[in-house]
Structures are given as C-alpha cells and as structure tokens.
Chain A
Amino acid sequence: MYLKKINFWFLSSLLVSIFVAIPIVTVFTSFFEDTSNYYQILKDTFLFEYIFNSLVLLISVLVLTFLIGTSTAYLVSFYKFPFSNFFKWALILSFAVPPYIYAYSLTAFFENYGTLYSILKNLFGEANYNQSIPKFDGLIGAVLSLSFSLFAYVYILSRASFQYQSQNLIDLGRNLGFSKARSFYSLILPAARPAIVAGLSLVAMETLAEFGAVDFFSINTLTTGIYNSWITFDDLAFSNRISFCLLLFIFAIFILENLSRKKARYHANTKGGFKQKEKIQLSGTKAFFAFSICFVVFFLSFLFPLSQMLYWTLKFPENLFDIPVVTLTLNTLYLMLLSSIVLIIFSLISNYGNRVSKNKTLNALSTLSISGYAIPGVILAVAFITFIAWFDDNVVKALGFLSIKKMFIGSILGLVLVYFVRFYSLAFNGIKSGYEKINISVDESSYLLGYSKKKTFMNIHVPFLRNSLLFVGILISLEIIRELPITLILRPFNFETFATTAYISASEDLLEAAAVPSLFLILIATLFIMLTSKYILRENER
C-alpha cells in the first residue's frame, strides 16, 4: 500500500522540495561552526542596533503600507470619482519602482544642492535653502522607500477582497444604521482581514529581506548584519545569532498569517449568496478628496521617482550612451523568461504531487521549502556558493569527477537555481491557491473516466489553472526585473542587468549615472504591468 504511493509525482515533488530546502539547511548548519574572531564589544553594540532598526523599519512600513494600501483600495472598489478607473490599475505601477531606486530618488531630490534646491533656486533666486530642506535619509528614508514601493501588495490583495464582498454586507451596515466610516471599520475591514494580513505578511518578508535600499542608506538591520558578520568578518557564530533573531521575526509573521487564514474559511462567500455590489458615485468635495488621496499616492509612489530619474537622464545625457540598453534588456528578459518557465513547471509538478500523494512528510517538506522567500537573497546566494563548494570538494571530487563549481557559480544556471529557491514559494503558493479551487471530485471523476494521472494533469488541471499560472508568471517576472543581491553575487563575467548596472553606479557615488538604468528598469516593468494588469488585479476570477 505504501509503495503504491511512491510514483513519479511523489518522487519529483520530493526532489524539488529537497532541492529548495538545501540552501536553507546550509544556512543553518554552517552557523553551528564557531569561527568567531569578531570582537565581543562590536557584537553587543551591533546586535541591539540590528534588532532595533529592523523592528522600527518593520513596524513603520507595516503601518504605512496598511494605511496607504487599504484606504486607496477602499476608495477605488466602493466609489466612483474622477479617474477612479484609472487609479484602479495606476496604483499598481508602484511595483515598477524597486525600493533602492526609490531611495536614489529621495536622496537626489532632497540632498544638499539636490533637485529641490535647484527648483527653489530657479523660483526664488539664490539663497541657502539647504538648511530648511528636510532630509529624508537614514531610517526615515528607508521606511518611505519601502512603503511606497511595497504598499501595492496590500492594495492588490485588499482590493481583490473588497471587490468580492457582497452587497449584503453593505446592506447590513446600512440596516444597522452604521455610518460609512463605521461600516468600513466594523464590517468591511474585518471581512477583508485575511487578504490584508496576507498582503502585509508579504510586505513584512520583503522588508526584512530588503538589502538595496537599506544598504544605500547604510542602516544596520538584521539582514545587513548577517551579511556583514558572515561575509566581511567570517564570523559564522555571530551570524547564527542574528539569523536566529531574524527567524523569530519571520516565524511570528508566519503564525499570524496562518491564524488569519484559518478565519478566512469563515468569511468566504458562497456563490449563491454573492450579490454584485454597486459603486457609489461621489461628487463635489468628497469626489475631490477621494481623487486627491489617490493622486497623492500615485504621485509619490510612481511619478516622483520616475520624474527624478527622467530629469537626471536628461540633465546628464552623456550617461545614456554609456549603457548597452539592448544587451541589458535582453539579459533581463532572458532571466525573466527562463526563471518563470522553470519555476512554473516545477511548482506545478510538486503541487500535483502533493495533491495525489497526500503524504504528510511531503507536505511538511514543502512547507519548509517555501520559506526560501523569507530568507534574504544575499544570504541565499552565499549559502548556495558555500553548499556548491562543499559538495564539490567532498562529494564530486571524492568520486573522481571534474569540478562542477564553474557550472554553478558564476553561471546563468546557478543564478536561475537560486532564483528558484528564493521565489519558489511565490510560485508554489500561487498555484496552490488555484488548485484549491479545483474540487478533488474533479480528479476522481477523471480517474473514473479512465484518465491516467498524467492525462488528468495535462488535460484538466493545467487548463483550469491557466489564470493562476499567468498571475504567478507575472509576479515572478516582476521580482526578477528588480532582483539585486542574488544577481549581483552570482552572475557570470560581463553579464549585467539594469538592476546591477544601477546599483554599481550608485555604490560609487555616481547616482546620476544610476538614473539611466533605473529609468529603463522602471519603464520595462511599467510596460509589463500595463500589459498584464488584468491578471494582476485578478479581474476575471470567479
């Protein structure tokens, strides 16, 4: 009976899960080696600072993304006002601006003798405005960069939830004599809670794993702390301690998210009770107010960084000619396409494997393997190198084979593999949520009709899952366009993307030169979002 379960599907999904778990396990096993040569005094000073900064960053970003994400989602899903249909998708354009590019823009605009200074000088003449211009750098800069770049997670998920809240709920509020505000706080928001929490937990993961923006403002967080103590000081023991703290954060988020998911079953609409709600038409000051909120958010999250980068590109046009735009575009597209295909194929297989085998070990293993998303890219990349080096020295060479290091380290293959580990959970969960909508009785009917497992998979599941697959592909592609630390550490010789080109100029204090690749990155991502906004907003579900 047990042997029967071990078939192709089971084995392949087992292999995928083990593979994804390898770097994660490497991170933690290598931390048990003690090679400390890093001074105690530094550790005590830094550990507190890392935790404090990460905590402040996390809480501030969560509060801001919650406020921005839910308020704009509420406005566009319940009301009609000028441009409300435009804002509905324009607000997701903030996805096109990664936090580190937002950070460059903030600095460029507000620094001493920066863009704002130039504007003031041109308007009011020569004077020392520097003293009165607020400086959005350091921790505040990082909070703003992360919030405006990540709020779209909360926006998309809460909007999707608001969208399908039934008219009954609104009628209920009205019957109870609730004001609009009270209905929002007591009925609409609680009903959307699972979606909002899911969005916030994505924001939390991204915030904790953030490297580019945080590094740019040189703030010490748990992630940069692990990076510094492990990579710069070779102090695995201390890295272990920091990783442990980071893990505690992540576990707390996991638990919170799971708790709220359980509640989701309570709130799920059944199709019969669903009544399409009507949007309320706003007019006068109310319409203006709603418009203003959405416009300010759209402006700050997208137009502001876009125009700063455009301004610099035009001001320093010589940088435009230094960048091989075509090559960089092709490189970015190549990585995007390859990784999406690989991720989708394997997540499909392992999802199906989980579905047919119903094996507890496999389930636990796939839960472990999806935690790759919670581990910062920098750490994953280094763990991957460490693992390959260990495997090569202890296994491959011991067996008398040629070294495999060059095949994996500094190759596209290695790059795609680590992307795979990092984004596997996005793919796996995206497909899983699609799978949950296919009733298991569909499979049973299919077997009764004499379909094989393979045929069920290819002819029934894959077409059913088409929209989920597209959505997953889009999410992964957007992540890869913006991805920085993994690409930076693992890419082959002479291989650059827009993200690495921008980062390298910025790290040499050549922000002006970083503007051109940043601008192209934003434009490509924007184009991509516009083409696929229908799927991102999940208009055609249900």
Chain B
Amino acid sequence: MRKVTIISLFVSLIVSSFAAANEVNIFNARHYKADNELYSKFTNQTGIKVNLINGKASALEKRMIEEGADSSADLYITADAGRCGAFKAKGMTQSGLVSPTIKSSVPKNFRTTHWVGVAKRARIIYYSPERVSGAELSGLTYEGLADPKWKGRLVIRKSSNIYNKSLVASLIENNGKKAAAEWSKGVVSNMARTPKGNDRAQIMAVAAGEADIAVANTYYLALMLSGNKGAEQQAAAKKVKAFFPNQNDRGTHMNISCAALVKGAPNKANAIALVDFLLSPEAQEHFTNNTFEFPMIAGVSPNPLVVNNLGLDFKQDLTTKVSSYGKNQAAALEVMTAAGWK
C-alpha cells in the first residue's frame, strides 16, 4: 500500500508537466482579485482557458528569459510601462500584438506593436487642505516638488519603487538627466521622513499629520474611500485632497498596466483575443470599478469615487511616450541614488 502511494506520487509528478489545450498562458505581475474575475469571464465567453503564474515582475521576467524559446508564456502582464519597455529592450517580446480593437481604442503613446496598455493610472500629489494653502498649490508641477518651500513637508516612496522610477524617467525625458539629478536632490532635502511604506502609507502619513504633501498613484485614495480598507482608512482618506500637477504644461504623469506579447508565444491568437477582451467596455468598466484605474478606452467613465474625489477634467500627459520610462529606468535609479534617496 505504502509503495503504491509513493509510486503514484511520483507518477503524478511526471504527468503534471504535460498538458495542452485551448489556452493562454499569462505571466502575471498584477495581482488584483478583479483580474481573476475578468479572466473567468473571458473563459466563459470564448472557451479559452487562462493559465496564470503570479509573481514578482523581475522574477517572472528572469524565468521567461531563461526558458527562452521553450517558454510557454504568451502574455506578460505588469503594472508599469517601464517594465514592458525594458522587457522589449531585452528582445523578449515580439511584434504582432495588433488588432482592429487595439488600434481603434488605445491612444498611440500607450502602445507599441509589442505591448499594449490596458488601464491607466496617474501619479499625483495629495495634500492636507488644513496645512497647505491654495496659493501654495497653484500651478504646482512635479518640478516644483524640489522647491525649498516644501522642506520637511513631503513624503514619497523609496527610490527602488517602480512607479517612482517611471516618474523620474519621464522627468529625464522632458528635462534631461542633469536637471533630474538636481531635482532629486531637492526632493530628498524636502522629505519629512526617510522613505518607507507603500503608496497608501504615504497618503495616510498626510492624513496623520506626518507630512503635508505626498506623491502616490490615483487609485489608492479611491480604494481607501471605498471603505474596502475599513472605516478608519475611509475617514483618513477624507482628510486628504488630490491635486493634479503640471496642468499648465505637458499634463499629469500617466502610467499604464500593460500586456506584452512574449517571444515564441505558443498561443499568439488567444493572447491577442485576451487583450481585445481586456479592452472591451465590459472589462474596462470592471477595471475602473474594482481597481479604480482610469479606463484605456474612450466611452467608459472612471468610477464615481474617482470622478467625485479626484476630478475627471485634468490634463493627462499624452506627449511623453510611456516607452521612454523603460529606456530611462536605469538612469532614473542612478540620479535618485546619487541624491541619497533611500
């Protein structure tokens, strides 16, 4: 009996590695509950099974690179344009992620033929209306965060955070590396504390009075306001207001969640079908109502929590190509580290 058990364990081991069907394999670095619900919907509509491997973006990338041509990966989904760009630069993606839906619904600066943005988020400034005056805020830009008037009043995440890298990459793209290096030094000297915690922790630091302004992504405030994080955080979120910087010039820094078509994808057609599905009004609404991101396509409105508390009529930066985030990623980390940004 014992022998049978042991043998069957081993057999199941070997067998588990062979299986093929109508499927699409996703290496997924974006882990929202809402995404899984979308994938089930996709399977119900098309009969295509969605296989997921969740993990940290860099580890997933490494695994795809080492698996090389034998990788079963079809799509790589991650929450930052810089990552998709850098992955493409490593030669790990392929062109061909094109379809009429993609072409008609995704603005040009949010896609290439290798990867496509499926949802948007803005990286904005949060402030305490009690301690920050309208005059101080008026015309505020990302560049203005280095102004000495914010000394000891600013909180932002660590320099290793990918959203910060992409923000600084966009500053490098617009103002040059030297200016970005100076800017980083200014920001570091304005920090109210050594960087720590996630985006939500930055917003809560403003609510708790540790700082007056914070830099964080848009959907976090909506998430706190939704009450999904508990009554305390809902109350805390109400003490903080959102401000969209750079309204008088290029617009607010935008980032995307992107899907990249992996080189050698065994189920290319299914992968494109999935991306098309993610861009459908139904899926886009699901994104906006659950992850509180901005929709990629026109005709879908962001969640009321986002619209009412953050506003809708803001100028998005549609001129800086998000593909530059990947290109300038390493330089961004370099200038931040040199400035002593932990």
Q: Are B33 and A112 in contact (CB under 8 A)?
A: no
Residues of A in contact with B (beta carbons under 8 Å apart): 37-39, 41-42, 45-46, 111-114, 117-118, 121, 128, 130-131, 137-138, 217-218, 220, 227-228, 231-233, 315-316, 322, 337-338, 341, 378, 382, 385-386, 388-389, 392-393, 403, 405-407, 409-413, 416, 488-489, 491-494, 496, 500, 504-505, 507-510, 512-513
Given A138-B196, A385-B62, A405-B67, do A112 and B205 touch, yes or no (CB 8 Å)? yes
Contacts of B9 in A (CB 8 A): 337-338, 341
Shortest A462–chain B CB gap in Å is 13
A128 to B236, CA, bound (A): 10
Known: A393-B68, A410-B67, A509-B220. 10 other contacts (CB 8 A): A130-B210, A217-B196, A233-B330, A341-B9, A392-B70, A407-B17, A410-B53, A411-B16, A491-B53, A512-B228
Q: Are A128 and B209 in contact (CB under 8 A)?
A: yes
Given A113-B232, A382-B62, A385-B63, do A410 and B207 touch, yes or no (CB 8 Å)? no
Q: Are B204 and A509 in contact (CB under 8 A)?
A: no
| Residues of chain B from 224 to 281 with CB closer than 8 A to chain A in the complex | 228-230, 232-233, 235-236
Q: How many residues of B contact A (CB 8 A)?
A: 57
A–B pairs, 14, beta carbons within 8 Å: A112-B207, A113-B233, A130-B210, A131-B210, A231-B58, A316-B228, A413-B14, A413-B16, A489-B59, A491-B53, A492-B53, A494-B51, A509-B198, A509-B199
Q: Are B33 and A322 in contact (CB under 8 A)?
A: yes
Least CB separation from B236: chain A residue: A113
A41 to B337, CA, bound (A): 8
Least CB separation from A490: chain B residue: B63
Q: Are B197 and A137 in contact (CB under 8 A)?
A: yes
Shortest A330–chain B CB gap in Å is 12
Contacts of B235 in A (CB 8 A): 113
A315 to B228, CA, bound (A): 10
- B48 proximal to A (CB < 8 A): no
Q: Are B66 and A409 in contact (CB under 8 A)?
A: yes
10 closest Cβ contacts across the A-B interface? Answer: A130-B208, A493-B51, A112-B204, A411-B17, A112-B208, A113-B232, A389-B66, A232-B58, A405-B70, A385-B66
Shortest B85–chain A CB gap in Å is 14
A403 to B70, CA, bound (A): 8
Q: Are A488 and B17 in contact (CB under 8 A)?
A: no
Q: Are B68 and A113 in contact (CB under 8 A)?
A: no
Q: Are B59 and A509 in contact (CB under 8 A)?
A: no
Residues of B in contact with A (beta carbons under 8 Å apart): 6, 9, 12-14, 16-18, 25, 30-33, 51-56, 58-59, 61-63, 66-68, 70, 72, 158, 160, 194, 196-201, 204-205, 207-210, 220, 228-230, 232-233, 235-236, 330, 333-334, 337-338
A380 to B210, CA, bound (A): 41
A111 to B210, CA, bound (A): 12
Shortest A26–chain B CB gap in Å is 12
A118 to B56, CA, bound (A): 32
Contacts of B338 in A (CB 8 A): 41, 45
Contacts of A114 in B (CB 8 A): 232
Shortest B340–chain A CB gap in Å is 8
Which of these, A128, A337, A341, A505, contacts B31 with CB under 8 Å?
A505
Q: Are B207 and A113 in contact (CB under 8 A)?
A: yes
Given A405-B70, A491-B53, A508-B31, do A413 and B201 touch, yes or no (CB 8 Å)? no
Interface SS of B by simple majority: helix
Least CB separation from A38: chain B residue: B330
A496 to B51, CA, bound (A): 12
Given A128-B208, A231-B62, A507-B56, do A42 and B67 touch, yes or no (CB 8 Å)? no
Least CB separation from A415: chain B residue: B13
Q: Are A508 and B32 in contact (CB under 8 A)?
A: yes
Contacts of B201 in A (CB 8 A): 111-112
Shortest A161–chain B CB gap in Å is 35
Which of these, B70, B208, B220, contacts A113 with CB under 8 Å?
B208
Shortest A310–chain B CB gap in Å is 15
Contacts of B204 in A (CB 8 A): 111-113, 130
A136 to B204, CA, bound (A): 16
Least CB separation from B206: chain A residue: A112
Given A385-B62, A493-B53, A507-B31, do A338 and B13 touch, yes or no (CB 8 Å)? yes
Q: Are B13 and A413 in contact (CB under 8 A)?
A: yes
Q: Are B70 and A41 in contact (CB under 8 A)?
A: no
Q: Are A509 and B53 in contact (CB under 8 A)?
A: no
Least CB separation from B223: chain A residue: A509
Q: Are B337 and A42 in contact (CB under 8 A)?
A: yes
Which of these, A378, A493, A513, contacts B25 with CB under 8 Å?
A493
Q: Are B17 and A494 in contact (CB under 8 A)?
A: no
Shortest A129–chain B CB gap in Å is 9
A512 to B70, CA, bound (A): 37
A508 to B208, CA, bound (A): 22
Which of these, B17, B58, B333, contacts A413 with CB under 8 Å?
B17
Which of these, A42, A118, A412, contacts B16 with CB under 8 Å?
A412
Contacts of A337 in B (CB 8 A): 9
Contacts of B59 in A (CB 8 A): 231, 378, 382, 488-489
Shortest B20–chain A CB gap in Å is 11
Contacts of B205 in A (CB 8 A): 112
Least CB separation from B158: chain A residue: A218
Q: Are A513 and B334 in contact (CB under 8 A)?
A: no
Contacts of A341 in B (CB 8 A): 6, 9
Contacts of B207 in A (CB 8 A): 112-113, 130
